[in-house]
Amino acid sequence: MTSRALWTAAWRAPVRGVFLLRGMALVQSGVRNLHRSVSYSMPPSSSPNCSLHTPSRRDELPCLVLDAALRAQTPPADLLYHCHITTDIPCGLPRAVLQRQRAALFRVFCAQLSAGRFKDAAYMLRDARLRPSQPKHMLRMLLRRLGQHVSTLSTDPGQSAHAALRETLRSFEYDCARRGHLDTQVFLRVLEHLLSRHMHTDMAHWAQSTAMMVSHPDPPFYAALAALVHRMTSTHRAPIQAAAFIEALPPAWRTHAMYHDVLVHDREVYLAGQESMAWRKRLWHDLRTIPHLRLPSAQGVLAQLSAHAHCVHKYRVWSDWLALEHQEDASPEMRARAVWLVTRTFVRAGHTRLAVRFAERHASSAPAHGTPLLNTLLTGILEDMRKCRSVHDRTCVLRHMYECVWQAARRCQTNTMPTLPVLPELVSLAPSRAAQRVLWLLARVERLISTHVLCPNVQTLQLLIRAATKWDASMDSQALWDMAALAPPRSPHTHRMRYSFFSELASALQRRADSRSARRARALLRHHRRRVKP
C-alpha cells in the first residue's frame, strides 16, 4: 500500500495536527461514535488540501483517529466501539482505503489480545472488510493465546476463554458464506480447545457451520477427528454429545472408529430413556446407509455385538460373534473383548453352562480380559446357586469358591501369600442335585483358571464378600480378613475399587456383630475415601 494513493497523505502537517487534536479530544471525552467524532473534527472543505469531501475520502479519516488512539494507549474496551464492526461487504471503496482499514482493524485486534479481551477479539473476526485470509490468521493468534494456560476464570467473565470460543463460532457463521477455505489444522485446534473445556455442544455447532470451508481433508485428519470422539466417550463420558458431533460432520468424514467408540461405550447402561434409543438408532441407520460405512469391518461388527450384548440378545450376539471371526482386520484386543461380551450375554441370559463351555474354548484368545471373564463366570455360578435351597448346599458351594479364588490369587501373585482361611467344617451330608450341578460348573472354572491363569482382582473379592454376607453367616471375621488379604498390591487406579470393597467388608463384619473388625474396616474405608477423586 502506497501513501500516494491516500487522500490524507497529501495533508499538510498543521491540518493533520488540528484534525487529530480535535478527534482525540472527542474520543477521550467519551464520544463512542467515531463517525460523529470525525465529522466534528473534519477540516473545512474550503481548506486547500481538504476540498472535495467525497464518501470514499471520508472513510480514510477514522483510520487516522484509530491510529492516534492506539498510540495514545486508549483502553481496548473503548477501541472496539470506534471500529464499527460491520458484516456488510464494502462496495465501491478504493483499494488503498480498504487496505488502510484492514491494517487498522488488525492493530485493534492485537490490542484486544494483549489486554486479554478474548471475546472482543473473536467478535472482530466477522468484519467483512478483512481479507479472506485474515480471519484465519487472526483465529490462529487467538487460539495461540488461549492455549497459553489461560485460566478459565477471567477477571472479566465476559472475556473468558469460553465466551471467546462461542463468539468465534458466531463470527465464523458470517465468514462461511463469503470466505474461501479453512485449514484443517485450525479446524482441529478449535475443536481441541472446545473439548478441553467440555464444550461438547459447541463442537457440533462448529463442525456443522464450518465443515464446508475445510479444504483437502486427508486420512490423518479423519484419524484426528476419531481421536476427539474417543476422548469424548472414554474420558469425558459424553456419548450422546459425541453422537451429536458425529452427525454434525459430513458423511464422508465419518469412520468406523467413531461409531465403534460411541456404540461400545462402557457406561451405556446408565443411558436409559428415549434420548439414548434415538441417537443409537440414528447411528445404526448411518452404518446401514452411508456407502463407505456399509462395508463390514471388525470395529463395526464389534460395536454391533456390544449393543446386542447390552440388550442381552443372545442370538444376535452369537451371529455377530460368527461375523467377527470372519473379519481379517480384527485385532487380538477386539477378539478378547468379544469373548468377554459373549460370555457375559450367556450369563445374563441364564445359560451359565453355555458360558463356561464358550469360555473354555476361547479363553486362550482373551488374556487381556481374563479377570472380567473370571468375575463374569463367578457371577453366573452365584446366580445358579439361588436354586440351592438348603444352607448346607450354599455353604458347600461358597467354600469351594473361596478355595478356587485363593488358588487363583496364589498363582497370579509372586509376593508372600496369606494362608488359606480357616473355613468351618462341613456337615457330612451329600449335596443336593442342584448343588452338584453348581459344583460341577465350579470345577470346570477351576480348571479354566489353572489352564489360562485367570487372575482375581478387588471386584472378585468384593463379589465373594457380598455372597458370604448374604448366604454364609458361618464364615467368621478372621476368614473374611484373610480373603481381603488376597487383594492385589495398591495402585492409583485401584483406589475406587478398594473403597467399594472395604465398604462391603465393613457391612459384612457389622452383620456378624464384630464391632472391632467393623471399626477397622471403616478406618480403611476412610483412608481410601481421601484418595478417591470426586
349-375 tens-digit pLDDT: 999 999 999 999 988 887 778 888 888
Binned at pLDDT 50, 70 and 90, residue 473 comes out as low
DSSP state letter for 390: S
Cβ(432)–Cβ(474) below 8 Å = no
Query: CA–CA separation, 211 vs 65, rounded Å?
Result: 38
pTM greater than 0.75: no
Cβ neighbours around 14 below 10 Å, total = 10
- Is residue 430 in a domain? no
Tell me which DSSP letter residue 50 carries. S
- The answer to the question of residue 432 being in a domain is no
Contacts 24+ apart (CB under 8 A), 429-434: 429/392, 431/392, 431/393, 431/396, 431/397, 432/388, 432/389, 432/390, 432/393, 434/387, 434/388, 434/389, 434/393
What's the grid cell of residue 472?
A: 454364609
Give the span between the Cα atoms of 419 and 421, in whole angstroms.
Answer: 6
pLDDT band (50, 70, 90) for residue 135:
confident
Q: What is the pLDDT of residue 4?
A: 47
Residue 349, class by beta-carbon neighbours within 10 Å (0-12 exposed, 13-18 middle, 19+ buried)?
A: middle
Write down the residue that cell numbers 446386542 correspond to.
308
Q: Do 187 and 245 have their domain in common?
A: yes
Concatenating the DSSP letter of every residue in 245-306 gives: HHHHS-GGG--HHHHHHHHT-TTGGG--SHHHHHHHHHHHHHHHHSHHHHS--HHHHHHHHH
Q: State the average pLDDT over residues 28-36.
A: 63
Strand partners, 214: 182
Query: Which stretch of 279-283, 389-393, 425-429 has the lowest confidence by average pLDDT?
Result: 425-429
Q: In this predicted structure, what is the pLDDT of residue 404? A: 82
Q: Indicate if 133 and 185 belong to the same structural domain.
A: no
DSSP SS3 for 416: coil
- Alpha-carbon gap, residue 190 to 534, rounded angstroms: 28
Shared-domain flag, residues 91 and 192: no
Are 2 and 142 contained in the same domain?
A: yes
Reading the block at residue 278, the C-alpha cell is 434415538
- 168 found inside a domain: no
Write out the three cell numbers for 447. 480348571
User: At residue 51, does pLDDT exceed 50?
Assistant: no
Instruction: Please list the alpha-helical segments (H only) found in 419-514.
Output: 433-452, 458-471, 477-484, 495-511
Cβ atoms of 331 and 338 closer than 8 Å: no
Segment 207-224 mean pLDDT: 89
For residue 17, is pLDDT > 60?
yes
Mean residue pLDDT of the chain comes to 77
Q: Give yes or no: residues 114 and 228 share one domain.
A: no
Residue 121 sits in the same domain as residue 41: yes
Q: Is the pLDDT of residue 230 over 90?
A: yes
Query: Which residue has 467519551 as its cell numbers?
Result: 30
Question: Which has more confidence, 215 or 480?
Answer: 215
3-class secondary-structure state, position 214:
strand
Q: State pLDDT tens for residues 284-334.
A: 888 878 888 876 778 888 888 888 888 888 988 998 898 888 888 788 888
From the centroid of its chain, how far is CA 72?
46
pLDDT of residue 273: 52
Contact 168, 125 (CB under 8 A): yes
Number of separate domains in the chain: 3
End residue of a domain, out of 126, 146, 166: 146
| Contact status, residue 243 vs residue 234, Cβ threshold 8 Å | no
CA distance 378 to 437: 14
Residues 200, 132 share a domain: no
Which of 56-65, 154-163, 227-236, 463-472 is most confident?
227-236
Task: Check pLDDT > 60 for residue 195.
Answer: yes
Beta bridge partners of 182: 214
Element (H, E) at 342: helix 332-348
One domain, residues 80 and 141: yes
- Residue 532: CA count within 13 A, CB half-sphere: 16
Q: Is residue 480 part of a domain?
A: no
Rounded average pLDDT over 260-264: 82
Do residue 237 and residue 142 come from a single domain? no
What's the pLDDT at 269?
42
Last residue of a domain, one of 264, 287, 310: 287
Looking up cell 478372621 gives: 478
Phi, psi of 182 (to 5 degrees): -120, 130
| pLDDT above 60 for 425 | no
Task: Supply the range of the domain harboring residue 514.
Answer: 490-534
> What pLDDT does residue 358 have?
94
pLDDT at 252 exceeding the cut of 70: yes
Asked if residue 368 lies in contact with residue 453, where contact means CB atoms within 8 angstroms, the answer is: no
**Can you state the angle between helices 239-248 and 219-234, rounded to 10 degrees?**
160
What confidence tens digit (pLDDT) does each residue in 398-408 have? 778 877 887 77
Please tell me whether residues 136 and 268 are part of one structural domain: no
Q: Is 182 helix (H, G, I), strand (E, B) or coil?
A: strand
Over 449-474, what HEC string results? HHHHCCCCCHHHHHHHHHHHHHHCCC
My answer on whether 116 and 53 are in the same domain is yes
pLDDT band at 150 (very low <50, low <70, confident <90, very high): low
The residue ranking higher by pLDDT, 418 or 112, is 112
Q: Check whether residue 128 and residue 223 sit in a common domain.
A: no
| pLDDT mean over 224-252 | 92
Rounded CA separation 156/117 (Å) = 8
| Domain annotation covers residue 317 | no
Is residue 294 a part of any domain in this protein? no
| pLDDT at residue 242 tops 70 | yes
CB contact at 8 A, 242 and 205: no
**Residues 6 or more apart from 79 whose CB is under 8 A from it?**
66, 69, 70, 108, 111, 112
Per-residue pLDDT at 97 exceeds 50: yes
Q: Is residue 7 part of a domain?
A: yes
> Last residue of a domain, which of 236, 270, 287?
287
Residue 165 lies in a domain: no
Characterize 189-199 residue by residue with b for buried, 16 or more Cβ atoms within 10 angstroms of its Cβ, and e for exposed.
Answer: bbbbbbbeeeb
pLDDT of residue 268: 46
Contact 64, 11 (CB under 8 A): no
Q: What is the mean pLDDT of the segment spanning 28-34? A: 63
